[in-house]
Structure 1
Amino acid sequence: MIPIKDYPGPRRRLPWVTWGIIAVNIVVFLYQVSLGPDAPAFMFAYSVVPVALTHGVPQTSLPGVPAHLPFHTPNPVYLTIITAMFLHAGWLHIGGNMLFLYIFGDNVEDRMGHLPYLVFYLFCGVIASITQVAIDPGSPVPSLGASGAIAGVLAAYLVLFPWARVRTIIFIFIFFTIVTLPAIILIGLWFLLQFFDGVASLSTVQQGMGGVAYFAHVGGFIAGLVITLLFRPLLRPPAPTSYPYLPRHSGAVNAREWWQRP
Structure 2
Amino acid sequence: MFPLADINRPSRPPVVVKLLVGLNALAFVLELLLPTEAVIRAFGFVPRAFWADPVGEAYTILTSMFLHGGVAHILGNMWFLWVFGDNVEDRMGPGRFLLFYLAGGAVAAVAQALVTPLSPVPMIGASGAVSAVLGAYYVLFPRAQIVTLVWFVLPFTFLLPAGFYLGYWAFLQLIEGLLGVPGIAFWAHLGGFLWGVFLARRFVPRWPRWRRW
TM class by shorter chain equals: over 0.9
Q: Distance in 2 between matches of 1:133 and 1:115?
A: 28
Task: Give the structure 2 partner of residue 190 of structure 1.
Answer: 169
Using the size of structure 1 for normalisation, the TM-score is: 0.76
Which AA in structure 1 matches 2:37? P
Q: Distance in 2 between matches of 1:218 and 1:15?
A: 25
2:123 aligned with 1:143, yes or no? yes
1:24 paired to 2:23: yes
Measured in 2, the distance between the counterparts of 1:164 and 1:145 equals: 27
Shift of 1:211: 1.2
Q: Secondary structure in 2 aligned to 1:142?
A: coil
SS in 1 for 2:68: coil
Output aligned runs, 1:166-245, within 5 Å.
166-172=146-152, 175-201=154-180, 210-232=182-204, 234=206, 236=208
CA separation of 1:230/1:104 partners in 2, compared to 1, >3 Å: closer, same or farther?
same
Are the equivalent residues in 2 in contact too, given 1:124–1:224 (CA < 8 A)?
yes
Say whether 1:106 aligns with 2:86: yes
Give secondary structure in 1 for the equivalent of 2:155. Answer: strand
Structure 1 stretches of at least 4 aligned residues deviating more than 3 Å after TM superposition = 229-233, 235-240
TM-score, normalised by the number of residues in structure 2? 0.92
Match of 1:5 in 2: 5
Determine if contact 1:5/1:166 at 8 Å carries over to the other structure.
yes
Pick the structure with more helix per residue: 2
CA contact under 8 A between 1:129 and 1:216: conserved in structure 2? yes
> Is 1:51 the counterpart of 2:31 in the alignment?
no
2:137 corresponds to: 157
How far the C-alpha of 1:168 sits from its partner, in A, is: 1.1
Aligned partner letter, 2:176: D
Give CA deviations for 1:12-48 in whole Å, capped at 9, x if unaligned. 222110000000000100111122xx11111111010
Q: Within 5 Å, give how 1:118-137 maps onto structure 2.
A: 118-137=98-117
Task: Give matches, 1:79-94, under 5 Å.
Answer: 79-94=59-74
CA contact (8 A) 2:96 2:203 kept: no
- Whichever residue aligns with residue 41 of structure 2, its letter is F
Offset, 1:231 = 4.8
Distance of aligned partners of 1:87 and 1:55 in 2 relative to their CA distance in 1, 3 Å threshold: same
AA partner of residue 100 (structure 1): F
Deviation at 1:237, TM superposition (A): 7.9
CA contact (8 A) 1:81 1:129 kept: yes
Contact 2:92 2:203 in 1 (8 A): no
Relative to structure 1, the CA distance from residue 157 to residue 238 in structure 2 (aligned partners, 3 Å threshold; closer, same or farther) is farther
Task: Please give the root-mean-square deviation of Cα atoms over the aligned residues, in Å.
Answer: 2.2
SS in 1 for 2:200: helix
**Per the alignment, do residues 220 and 239 of structure 1 end up closer, same or farther by CA in structure 2, a change over 3 Å counting?**
farther
Closer, same or farther in 2 for the Cα pair 1:138/1:199, shift >3 Å? same
Counterpart secondary structure, 2:142: coil
Number of paired residues?
212
| Counterpart contact for 1:150–1:220, Cα < 8 Å | yes
Counting aligned pairs with the same residue, the percent is 40
Contact 1:111 1:235 in 2 (8 A): no
Question: Looking at CA atoms only, which structure, 1 or 2, has the larger radius of gyration?
Answer: 1
What amino acid does structure 2 have at the position aligned with 1:179?
F
Separation (CA, whole Å) in 1 of partners of 2:49 and 2:173? 25
**Does residue 39 of structure 1 match 2:36?**
yes
